Chain A
Amino acid sequence: MQQEKILKLPSQIESVEKAAQEAESFARTAGFADDVIFAVDMAVRESVANAVKHGNKLDETKNVEITFRNVGAGFEIDIRDFGAGFAVEEIPDPTNPENLLKASGRGILFMRSFMDEVEWTNHADGGTIVKMLKKR
């Protein structure tokens, strides 16, 4: 069984769909259940969209590096961008009444809602890595 898949995709909106399709294919081959696949699909779309738009700022000379792993605990995902980084605790809570009608800012909420573990770190060589786990 394939245990790990690594992708390097350009910083364009089309990479979101490509990454989601690759995640689903990997998860189905590895035998994950439909609810895990739905959560992974949602989290991959949101995290790759963030990496492309907010991390790499649609700079097509920068890639988004994506790793899927079938590990004992479940489905593990790493998404790395090459942007300036950000402090996740400074992202406004989109469910606060004053933010409810904002057009954006819900991606991180979805990642946290659908995955069991989500963690952001700054890479030593620049950029941000988000590591996520969906338990099987």
Chain B
Amino acid sequence: MAELNITERQAGDVTILDMNGKVTIGEGSIALRNAIRRLLGEGKSKILLNLGNVGYVDSSGIGELVSSFTAVNKEGGTLKLLNLTQKIQDLLAITKLLTVFDVFEKEDEALSSFE
């Protein structure tokens, strides 16, 4: 089974990526990078990453989240995070990235923030 499975949903003009697995060095980070590149290539630049089923992220995965954020911003879009586990929140706090990302606990609130 792949380290990270990503399922895409559409809610209006927002694309939600439901992520399941690990965002770690190698396969998991590459899967996220490829998914973001593909969405940007399709002109989809309002992106919500649902991390509720991501059990593990390492520094490479955190770096990939940052790269995704900057790549989407560069295209004039917005990338936000949904359903962080406590461990991922802790990692974002340690790295001071909670000040960078818009983070939501509820999907409807996250979606309305894009309007």
Q: Which residues of A contact B (CB under 8 A)?
A: 13-14, 16-17, 38, 42, 45-46, 49, 94-95, 100-107, 109-110, 113
Contact = CB atoms under 8 A, between A and B. Distances in A.
B26 to A, nearest CB: 4
B100 A101 contact: yes
Sorted from nearest, which 5 A-B pairs have the closest CB atoms? A106-B59, A103-B63, A107-B59, A13-B26, A95-B96
A29 B62 CA distance: 30
Q: Is the interface of B mostly helix, strand, loop or mixed?
A: helix
Contacts of B20: none
B25 A104 contact: no
Interface in B11-57: 24-26
Given A110-B91, A113-B94, A46 B59 contact: yes
B100 A100 contact: yes
A101 B87 CA distance: 20
B25 A13 contact: yes
B37 to A, nearest CB: 14
A45 B25 contact: yes
